[in-house]
Amino acid sequence: MPPRRPVLHFFLRPSCAVLPLLLAACSTQGPATVHRGEAQVAPMTSGEIAQSDLNRMATLGMRDNLDSLYRLLDKLYRRNPAEWRKTGSASREAAIQGVRSAIENRTPWPELQGKRDIAALSLALSPEFRGDRVAAFVVASADMLITAHNGKTTFYLLDGLDAQHIYNAARNVESAVWLLATRRNAAGQPLLLADEISERERNLSFEREFGKIVGRLDLLSGVLTEKYRRAVITYVQNLAGASFLQFLPVR
């Protein structure tokens, strides 16, 4: 009978002990880290000294909401190129710049016939409107948002905001999105091409961007409401706790 070979057992036994350790090490490794950008910090300005936390929040919210409208402007022009050509602009970029300039300088948009705020928004979403509907819709939406913020885009200590007006603006955006998706022109076509759900594509980027605007407005409205409630609660707490916060003689 040939002699047994212990060498095989020598290699097998350590392998059995190491294998669970290797499996455990593999199981503890999480998915690969994916870099999706970083939180952006706006450069500090001297004007921030005259801003409360709420003023700063409202200012950043307005900035982000206008940026969302500019992104929607670009996306709507891309999906509806016939609209920007109605302006006579040399390019889509030139048309975008014209709309941005009108919003930032609060310049009335000629095709809105002197209407502002929700009256302008209603005109921009009417089936009978024949002008550049993308520009009219974005300009009217921006004007409505700014009007809800007392006609301002930057806020300081002496500025006040009405929580109900901000809340109403959020509902107006929701209504405008619904009208944009459901209304048809005389030919039975959508007023503007935006989101698309089909067998070959699912594009809901417009809805997501509008949702960001609504979310920011609702958050600001809630914080404004909480601000006044907390002021009342703090006042009552100070009255109730005044007798307990006095120094007492020790001799």
Cα–Cα distance measured from residue 202 to residue 195, given in angstroms and rounded to the nearest whole number: 8
Question: How confident is residue 10, by pLDDT bands cut at 50, 70 and 90?
Answer: very low
Are 68 and 215 in contact by the 8 Å Cβ rule? The answer is no
Amino acid occupying residue 157? L
CA distances from 103 to 79, 160, 206 (A): 22, 22, 20
Cα–Cα distance measured from residue 81 to residue 188, given in angstroms and rounded to the nearest whole number: 19
Is residue 28 scored above 60 in pLDDT? no
Cα–Cα distance measured from residue 208 to residue 164, given in angstroms and rounded to the nearest whole number: 24
**Look-up of token digits 């040399």:** 90
Whether pTM exceeds 0.85: no
Alpha carbon dihedral 185, 190, 194, 198, in 10-degree steps, equals: -170
How many CA atoms lie less than 13 Å away from 140 in the CB half-sphere?
A: 25
Question: How confident is residue 235, by pLDDT bands cut at 50, 70 and 90?
Answer: low
Q: For 9-34, what is the mean pLDDT?
A: 55
Helices (H) then strands (E): counts for the chain: 8, 2
Tens digits of residue pLDDT in 163-211: 999 999 999 999 999 998 888 888 888 888 876 655 665 567 788 999 9
